[in-house]
Amino acid sequence: MAALLELLEDVAGRPRRDFRQSRGPASAALLETGPVAYWRLDELAGPWAVDATGGNRDAVYEPAVAYFLEGPRSGDFCTDGETNRAAHFAGGRLRSRIADLGDNYSISLWLWNGMPVDARKVSGWIFSRGRDHGIGPHGDHLGIGGAAGHAGKLIFLHGGDAEGAKPLAGRTQIPRWTWSHVVFVRDGRTVRVYLNGNSQPEIEAKLPAGRPAGFDRLFFAGRCDNQSNWEGRLDEIAVFDRALSPEEVAELAVR
* Identity at 83, one-letter amino acid code: T
116 torsion bin: left (phi>0), alpha (psi -120 to 50), beta (else): beta
Cα–Cα dist 67/24, whole Å:
20
Residue 220 burial (CB count, 10 A):
27
Lowest pLDDT segment from 66-75, 83-92, 121-130, 153-162: 153-162
Cα–Cα dist 240/36, whole Å:
5
Residue 71 burial (CB count, 10 A):
25
H/E segment holding residue 10: helix 2-12
Q: How far is CA 16 from the centre of its chain?
A: 30
Nearest Cα residue to 87 out of 57, 58, 64, 119: 64
145 torsion bin: left (phi>0), alpha (psi -120 to 50), beta (else): beta
Q: In the prediction, which pLDDT does 214 show?
A: 57
- Across all residues in the chain, what is the average pLDDT? 93
For the cut 90, the answer to whether the pLDDT of residue 16 exceeds it is: no
For the cut 60, the answer to whether the pLDDT of residue 212 exceeds it is: no
For the cut 90, the answer to whether the pLDDT of residue 27 exceeds it is: yes
For the cut 90, the answer to whether the pLDDT of residue 20 exceeds it is: no
H/E segment holding residue 205: strand 203-206
Summarised one tens digit per residue, pLDDT across range 50-77 is 999 999 899 999 999 999 999 999 999 9
Nearest Cα residue to 191 out of 152, 240, 141, 229: 141
Cα–Cα dist 144/223, whole Å:
12
The dihedral through the CA atoms of 219, 103, 138, 125 has a sign that is negative
H/E segment holding residue 96: strand 94-97
